[in-house]
Amino acid sequence: MFGMQWTKTISKPLLCGAYACTSLAGNQCYAESKVESPNIIFILADDMGYGDISALGQTNFTTPNLDQMIKDGMSFTQAYTGSTVSAPSRACLLTGQHTGHVFQRHNAQIQFRPDPMDITIATLLQGADYKTAMIGKSGLSCASSDGDLPNQKGFDHFYGFVHHGNAHRQYPQKLWRNGEQVTLEGNYGKTGKQYTGNLFVNDSLEWIEQNKDNRFFLHLSLTLPHADHTVPEEYRSEFIGKFKETPYPEGRHYIEQQYPKATYAGMIKFIDSSVGRIEQKLKQLGIEENTLVIFASDNGALQGEGGYHYKDLNSSGILRGGKRDLYEGGIRTPFIVKWPGVVKSGSTSEHITAFWDFLPTACELANIGIPDWTDGISIVPTLLNQEKQQKQHQYLYWEFHEQGGKQAIRYGRWKGVRLNVKKDRYSKIELYDLVKDPKEENDISDQNSDVVVQISKLLEEAHEPSERFQLFSK
């Protein structure tokens, strides 16, 4: 596996211009750049669609803080997640590998392996003297009982869930803090007094304050708007009665909810408020200009889980599909970057990027070499308004191990989707021209056989057999 090629000892950087190259990789240095390494904050929503921001087309509710972040920073219109469900998507984000290479490819009983396997960006940044924290839903395991795992994988501080199933509850009875279980008094799972969203944001604000004099990396990994659908009343009260509701009944896995649409809107409002609180803390501490903040979602919006469907409030915008789809609505989500004085305010980028680009981007910003096992490409040139120096992906690749098995390729303007691969590895490839057909309404594979042949080859090239998960039947 790719992680086996790396050892944990990071060699001393050899300076090249403003950025550092090491023996780990031969990333190009941008000598003309004179930007100091910033703090890095990556705020990740859970199951929030591309259309859930008012500046990106949402009309059922507003997101003033995210809208302001777009005005103050750069919004990527063609940014993709690691997968269409949580665990593999977050694994891609943290390791810089796509789902054809990453170890954790599926929402299953699995967790990251010990170093030097499954090296995370947190471990790399630790080697560059960054303080590191993950707060919220761990992307290092789908199902684990090891509360110390995040600390073992590069995070100096962890507070949250290590088991994704437990993260379905917004009022859990217990959380993990640096290897120790913490009991939340007054919480009963589906109801309670201590809302995890508040706990995670408050802990993030406290940690930022404690580390304001250090270079730091904070991964605030929220569990909203994933079901359970529940939020403090102050965030949803304005939406009660605004929408025609279909109550979600008691007795199912997720919490009973009389107002799933209003509650979903309230959860987005909570996320937006959380972004505003983080931004305000940076300003208060005087570190806003030395902090790069990224906002994204781990995959597209829900398809009925907990009583909310992405079509209810147009969460996917014009994009086709949602969570568990490899159509655009399942894997293209908001991606906003703000870095005052460096990233051009009010800018929009059509650069095609994906979660596995975060690791090489963070490495370059931290003046450390980019490991040769990453599938990613640094987007620093785009952030610094140096588009002519920006390298491009030949293609992006996804595989999904549920619903009969799926594969997809983004190849320039083309999008190829192959379904039911567990039954037939060489099933028909659907082909869409995303320039002319961003809604993926017209399969034009019959008229473009040469492109289909090329995408078929790329599907074979990108998929490395997994020791843990079998995508194809024998």
CATH number of the domain bearing residue 420? 3.30.1120.10
Token pair recorded at residue 195: 């809302």
Asked if residue 150 and residue 91 are part of one domain, the reply reads yes
Q: Pairing between strand 406-411 and 396-400?
A: antiparallel
Among residues 389, 408, 423, the one where a domain terminates is: 389
Question: How far apart are alpha carbons 463 and 395 in whole angstroms?
Answer: 13
Burial of 355 (0-12, 13-18, 19+ CB in 10 A): buried
Among residues 338, 370, 389, the one where a domain terminates is: 389
Q: What is the pLDDT of residue 252?
A: 86
Q: What is the pLDDT of residue 251?
A: 82
Among residues 389, 419, 452, the one where a domain terminates is: 389
Question: How far apart are alpha carbons 208 and 204 in whole angstroms?
Answer: 6
Asked if residue 402 and residue 375 are part of one domain, the reply reads no
Residue 253 lies in a domain: yes
pTM value surpassing 0.85? yes
Domain that holds residue 336: 32-389
Asked if residue 270 and residue 148 are part of one domain, the reply reads yes
Asked if residue 312 and residue 270 are part of one domain, the reply reads yes
Residue 357 lies in a domain: yes
Count of domains observed in the chain: 2
Kind plus residue range of the DSSP H or E element containing 377: none
Residue 13 lies in a domain: no
Asked if residue 455 and residue 377 are part of one domain, the reply reads no
Asked if residue 168 and residue 42 are part of one domain, the reply reads yes
Asked if residue 412 and residue 304 are part of one domain, the reply reads no
Cβ neighbours of residue 229 closer than 8 Å, sequence gap 6 or more: 248, 254, 255, 257, 260, 263, 264, 267, 306, 307, 308
Q: What is the pLDDT of residue 473?
A: 81
Residue 341 lies in a domain: yes
Measured N-to-C along each axis, helices 260-285 and 64-72 cross at an angle, to the nearest 10 degrees, of 50
Domain of 234, CATH number, reads: 3.40.720.10
Asked if residue 222 and residue 93 are part of one domain, the reply reads yes
Burial of 358 (0-12, 13-18, 19+ CB in 10 A): buried
Q: What is the pLDDT of residue 33?
A: 55
Asked if residue 313 and residue 445 are part of one domain, the reply reads no
Q: In what order do the strands lie in the sheet with 414-419?
A: 396-400, 406-411, 414-419, 429-433
pLDDT per residue as tens, the chain (474 positions): 333 333 333 332 322 333 233 333 334 443 345 568 999 999 999 999 999 999 999 999 999 999 999 999 999 999 999 999 999 999 999 999 999 999 999 999 899 999 999 999 999 999 999 999 999 999 999 999 999 999 999 999 999 999 999 999 999 999 999 999 999 999 999 999 999 999 999 999 999 999 999 999 999 999 999 999 999 999 999 999 999 999 999 888 999 999 999 999 999 999 999 999 999 999 999 999 999 999 999 999 999 999 999 999 999 999 999 999 999 999 999 999 999 999 999 999 999 999 999 999 999 999 999 999 999 999 999 999 999 999 999 999 999 999 999 999 999 999 999 999 999 999 999 999 999 999 999 999 999 999 999 999 999 999 999 988 999 986
Asked if residue 253 and residue 115 are part of one domain, the reply reads yes
Q: What is the pLDDT of residue 20?
A: 33
Q: What phi and psi values does residue 455 have, to the nearest 5 degrees?
A: -65, -35
Burial of 180 (0-12, 13-18, 19+ CB in 10 A): exposed
Residue 26 lies in a domain: no
Residue 11 lies in a domain: no
Q: What is the pLDDT of residue 14?
A: 27
Burial of 113 (0-12, 13-18, 19+ CB in 10 A): middle
Asked if residue 316 and residue 447 are part of one domain, the reply reads no
Asked if residue 84 and residue 177 are part of one domain, the reply reads yes
CA dist list (Å): 238 to 45, 231, 269: 22, 13, 11
Q: What phi and psi values does residue 144 have, to the nearest 5 degrees?
A: -150, 150
Residue 27 lies in a domain: no
Question: Sign of torsion, CA 379 385 391 393?
Answer: positive
Residue 74 lies in a domain: yes
